[in-house]
């Protein structure tokens, strides 16, 4: 089943940024999208926007740190559209600080969302994919895991952990049923910097996003490219970054 049209895609972190752009891109190409995030008001507005253009969208309040929420997201896709073709694991948070500051609460939060959130998605969707005889995990990682820099140790660590999980899952699933794709965005114009606690670091990050950041649509198109390949073709890794990013 190649192409995007007609596929059923669940997306975590769909209320803004890359997740929102991905939902709009895939819906415009004919996919049915199941939108998961914590900010249900934004999800509802996004779903209404998609439906206004004759697209198909469902809303499921989703906190990826809760396993039951991912199970409900996947179950809603199956109940509403009879199957789930793709799970886009996009939900993620970034906290930047020197390791010596010992921001253990921030470490825990990144591990819970960025790693456990992905594992919860795998646990929820993998049995469905196996039962159907096909399925695709598309996971948003980061170039922060490719180039290690100060203040991003734990964030980069979580992204590399997910990259490892996806590769191991790929090697365990070479029977043609499952596809895995890891997409590493560079600097993207999103609201990720808004969640940085340190005011000076937050402002610096915002300036970098304004000067260098590509639009989330660029990453959404990469997601669509991976999904639209024939079932026997797997796009394992994609890096999407600004031409001016070092």
Domain total of the chain: 1
Residue at 92 is within a domain: yes
Domain with residue 113: its CATH number is 3.40.50.720
- What is the C-alpha to C-alpha distance for residues 164 and 182, in angstroms, rounded to an integer? 10
Residue at 246 is within a domain: no
Residue at 245 is within a domain: no
pLDDT on residue 96: 83
Residue at 144 is within a domain: yes
The percentage of residues in the chain with a pLDDT greater than 70, rounded to a whole number, is: 90
pLDDT tier, 194 (very low <50, low <70, confident <90, very high otherwise): low
Residue at 2 is within a domain: no
Residue at 3 is within a domain: no
Per-residue pLDDT of 29-87, as tens digits, reads 999 999 999 999 999 999 999 999 999 999 999 999 999 999 999 999 999 999 999 99
Residue at 143 is within a domain: yes
Pairwise pLDDT comparison (104 vs 204), residue with the higher score: 104
Mean pLDDT of the chain: 92
Per-residue pLDDT of 92-139, as tens digits, reads 998 888 899 999 999 999 999 999 999 999 999 999 999 999 999 999
Residue at 1 is within a domain: no
The predicted model scores a pTM of 0.92
- Are the CB atoms for 10 and 73 separated by under 8 Å? yes
Domain enclosing residue 30, as ranges: 8-240
- What is the C-alpha to C-alpha distance for residues 232 and 187, in angstroms, rounded to an integer? 31
Q: Smallest Cα–Cα separation from 242: which of 214, 205, 219, 209?
A: 214
Q: Tell me which residue has tokens 């590493």.
A: 184
- What is the C-alpha to C-alpha distance for residues 115 and 234, in angstroms, rounded to an integer? 22
Catalytic annotation present for 195 = no
- Are the CB atoms for 4 and 21 separated by under 8 Å? no
- Are the CB atoms for 162 and 173 separated by under 8 Å? no
pLDDT on residue 17: 93
Residue tagged active-site, from 10, 155, 162, 192: 155
């Amino acid at each position: 089943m190649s192409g995007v049209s007609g596929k059923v895609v669940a997306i975590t972190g769909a209320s803004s940024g890359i997740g929102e752009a991905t939902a709009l891109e895939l819906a415009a190409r004919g996919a049915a999208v199941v939108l998961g995030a914590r900010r249900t008001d934004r999800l509802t507005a996004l779903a209404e926007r998609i439906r206004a253009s004759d697209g198909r969208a469902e809303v499921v309040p989703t906190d990826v740190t809760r396993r039951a929420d991912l199970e409900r997201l996947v179950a809603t896709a199956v109940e509403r559209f009879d199957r789930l073709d793709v799970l886009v694991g996009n939900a993620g948070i970034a906290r930047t600080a020197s390791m010596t500051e010992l921001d253990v609460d921030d470490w825990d939060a990144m591990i819970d969302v960025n790693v456990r959130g992905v594992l919860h998605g795998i646990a929820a969707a993998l049995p469905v994919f196996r039962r159907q005889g096909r399925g695709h995990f598309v996971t948003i990682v980061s170039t922060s895991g490719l180039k290690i820099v100060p203040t991003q140790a734990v964030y980069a660590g979580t992204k590399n952990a997910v990259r490892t999980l996806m590769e191991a899952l790929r090697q365990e699933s070479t029977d043609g049923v499952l596809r895995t794709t890891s997409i590493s965005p560079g600097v993207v114009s999103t609201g990720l910097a808004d969640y940085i606690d340190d005011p000076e670091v937050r402002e610096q990050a915002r300036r970098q996003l304004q000067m260098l950041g590509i639009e989330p649509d660029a990453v959404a198109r990469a997601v669509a490219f991976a999904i639209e390949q024939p079932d026997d073709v797997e796009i394992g890794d994609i890096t999407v970054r600004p031409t001016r990013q070092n």
